[in-house]
Structure 1
């Protein structure tokens, strides 16, 4: 991995490798993806250890959200890549006869991937898969907040890849600033809207395109439902996995007044079933990443009515799975992304009321809707805008390689995963090709009496 100074330009080092043309070769790309897969599998234990040290993350959650999803993304990409790289023929207008038109995907060049601390392997490796598949060189900047995970990412990449092809640059926010001031061909950033704006501003100096994955307040609407037990389990799993530190975790519940008390009861039962009577002793419950985040979450808790949980321990960075009731819509819990194990509950009477509330806020990265009613499902899909949606579950849409993952509006711009990742890191080059066996003179001067032929073509 590299330690950079202000005098170095990492992008230029990668650009020299890109200029060799090696990354254009399909076999080369597939070979690098296979190496990446093997690198992850070879270093499972070290990845487990890093996530345990950073977040007290259970091995199962690490395997599921960091290793399993990364490997499946690689497998999916290898399976489809030969099709993705082929030029795509499109229909040619008769006015262009004789000609053929094709779209050629070509790599952008050198891309910068800035990862996040909450899923440090997943949120660097999955974008990297798209970058490799599209034929680019890549610079990775892991989050320094998850220090152990940052180190293991750097160690793995430096061991398995030519550093002029893919390299990891570790460091703090000043290192990130140094990197974004360099000229890259694309930047993908995962993090907060505040930092996302800084990334976009710096990228604008070089007219560098950006993909921003920014999160936000993802709502979860619950209508009267024939199976509140399953509903509660799916909400509790999605909210409290990784200690609630997930950009697409349900950020607040909008619950129909008819079932509010029943759902809260089921959620309480479910929390106990998942984590026992004392979640602090559960081997399956993650901790808050650092003291700064713990203090922020503790402050949020001090301004609300707790209905389940609320216990915390600053020495252990532990906050119990917690439900709170919000009557004041100006409460910070309903206006700031929580990013922790606190779930506010807001009661509504009619579904239209919940939809109106969501539409009055910035567009979220994810939206969840629990209802057996197909008409209601369609109503929510058509009446709201969000990066993605899971119906009768939480977060699962993000695990499907064929579904683009990304935000809209304040929750982000652009997408990746599967073909979307390949497209994000590719330029679609439009190509028209004409033969020499005929040359129509309609376009050439003199133009006298030719406009009638153009008018005739407009009707065809």
Structure 2
């Protein structure tokens, strides 16, 4: 980090071409070591290779391609010129990097969520230190070695360790901290950064409601929902957390969920190579406790030695249960019937500021109602997950789901600030703006305020 700070002077900020070269080196690292990263993800979470490539490596490669293509345009200074009374003003505003950025990443997508914010940080001209999760040790160690071989430490480096390492890093004088993880840890990171007035970007997750109204039901819609929920064994921050289904299609929905689960994972999902595992024991135990807070309609099988929990559907959730309040983050899908959409939203059962809200509907008024109600940065209609893979869609939280957005141009803006060069060219001395003031001065200001100020 000291080497990064030594290069932290504004004059040392890399050019657009240098940033593009750095990003292309990162791309080459991912391509050259694709097999090693896939094997590490299997070791950490038994992640199917298809899911690991699609939602870790491919997303990063697409992001780098998009950023490299657009970076010169995003970096172009904004200029304006205007005549005032007695002088002409010239304004040149440009994006400037914060300097040294700390990225603290989680375990559920240990490669993608470590490097995606790093891509934004590099694109904006920063130096980057990454602290990956200790709960994904194989991926974290491989990332440390590969980044160390590919980049000098003053450009990018990876520091491995436990929660105490992360706490130590957040106490250091970084210029910006980016954190992805749970709400309680996010609060602690934010409070520690606040002691040094360090700006923080937080991606915290939340209970992403998925609403299926009477017009949105179809076998295809159910397969989308089931796929998005049980992808990576439910350990996805934008996975549908709870499914709210109109009572007129409730039983049909449960039947289609059962069919989709059998189609995707068979009668023995534990033996299915396309189904992942829970990342660590503590989270496994939490999920087992949540499974007791309703009737198990499908699934429910588990194996502590293998960290396996079968895709599970819960019904008859008692009011006030913690599963209705806490983010599940696992392969447990509560399915709750509702009678009227307005009543459902008025009951405040749906978290307004979750990372994303999902709605399956063809009813225009229902779509508008949900859009008006939600405070999430994204409302996704008739699709799940895919918005998070689009570099043109800002990804971030509001309120309990976080603060700040990234991906694509949103990331470039989040990891930089606007710096303005202001210059005045005088052609006439105006003495009336100086004290002592007179009534005539006030009349002039009122009449010519647009040209005077």
1:386 to 376, 383, 389: 376
- After the TM superposition, which residues 93-104 of structure 1 pair with which residues of structure 2 at under 5 Å, given as runs? 98-104=88-94
* Unpaired runs of at least 5, structure 1: 1-9
For residue 22 of structure 1, report the CA deviation from its aligned partner: 4.2
Which residue of the partner structure matches residue 294 of structure 2?
304
**Residue-by-residue CA offset, 1:422-450 (whole Å, 9 max, x unaligned):** 11110111332221334444423343221
For residue 141 of structure 1, report the CA deviation from its aligned partner: 0.3
**Residue-by-residue CA offset, 1:261-316 (whole Å, 9 max, x unaligned):** 11111111111111111111111100001111111111111232011111111111
Q: Distance in 1 between matches of 2:423 and 2:86?
A: 10
2:139 to 149, 156, 167: 149
- Determine if contact 1:364/1:411 at 8 Å carries over to the other structure: yes
- Determine if contact 1:401/1:417 at 8 Å carries over to the other structure: yes
- Determine if contact 1:112/1:187 at 8 Å carries over to the other structure: yes
For residue 227 of structure 1, report the CA deviation from its aligned partner: 4.8
TM-score, normalisation: structure 2: 0.95
Which residue of the partner structure matches residue 456 of structure 1?
447
**Residue-by-residue CA offset, 1:379-412 (whole Å, 9 max, x unaligned):** 2111221132211011221111111110100110
- Determine if contact 1:18/1:165 at 8 Å carries over to the other structure: no
- Determine if contact 1:84/1:419 at 8 Å carries over to the other structure: yes
Which residue of the partner structure matches residue 347 of structure 2?
357
Which residue of the partner structure matches residue 327 of structure 2?
337
1:106 to 96, 107, 122: 96
2:260 to 235, 255, 270: 270
Cα 1:459/1:155, change in 2 over 3 Å: closer
Cα 1:336/1:90, change in 2 over 3 Å: farther
TM-score, normalisation: structure 1: 0.94
Q: Distance in 1 between matches of 2:265 and 2:377?
A: 30
Cα 1:324/1:227, change in 2 over 3 Å: closer
* 1:134 aligns to 2:128 (yes or no): no
- Determine if contact 1:109/1:185 at 8 Å carries over to the other structure: yes
1:413 to 394, 399, 403: 403
* 1:221 aligns to 2:224 (yes or no): no
Which residue of the partner structure matches residue 39 of structure 2?
49
- Determine if contact 2:201/2:403 at 8 Å carries over to the other structure: yes
Q: Distance in 2 between matches of 1:431 and 1:329?
A: 58
Q: Distance in 2 between matches of 1:431 and 1:350?
A: 55
For residue 339 of structure 1, report the CA deviation from its aligned partner: 0.7
Which residue of the partner structure matches residue 105 of structure 2?
115
Q: Which SS does the other structure have where 1:98 is aligned?
A: strand
**Residue-by-residue CA offset, 1:111-159 (whole Å, 9 max, x unaligned):** 1000110001111111001100110111100011111111111111101
- Determine if contact 1:362/1:410 at 8 Å carries over to the other structure: no
Which residue of the partner structure matches residue 220 of structure 2?
230
Deviates more, 1:381-390 or 1:333-342: 381-390
Aligned length: 450
Cα 1:303/1:376, change in 2 over 3 Å: closer
Which residue of the partner structure matches residue 27 of structure 1?
17
Q: Report the RMSD for the aligned CA atoms in angstroms.
A: 1.8
Q: Which SS does the other structure have where 1:303 is aligned?
A: coil
- Determine if contact 1:23/1:29 at 8 Å carries over to the other structure: no
* 1:397 aligns to 2:397 (yes or no): no
- Determine if contact 1:355/1:384 at 8 Å carries over to the other structure: no
1:180 to 158, 170, 175: 170
Q: Which SS does the other structure have where 1:24 is aligned?
A: coil
Cα 1:100/1:149, change in 2 over 3 Å: same
- Determine if contact 2:211/2:359 at 8 Å carries over to the other structure: yes
* Unpaired runs of at least 5, structure 2: none
Q: Distance in 1 between matches of 2:426 and 2:450?
A: 27
Cα 1:457/1:70, change in 2 over 3 Å: same
Cα 1:188/1:85, change in 2 over 3 Å: same
- Determine if contact 1:196/1:214 at 8 Å carries over to the other structure: yes
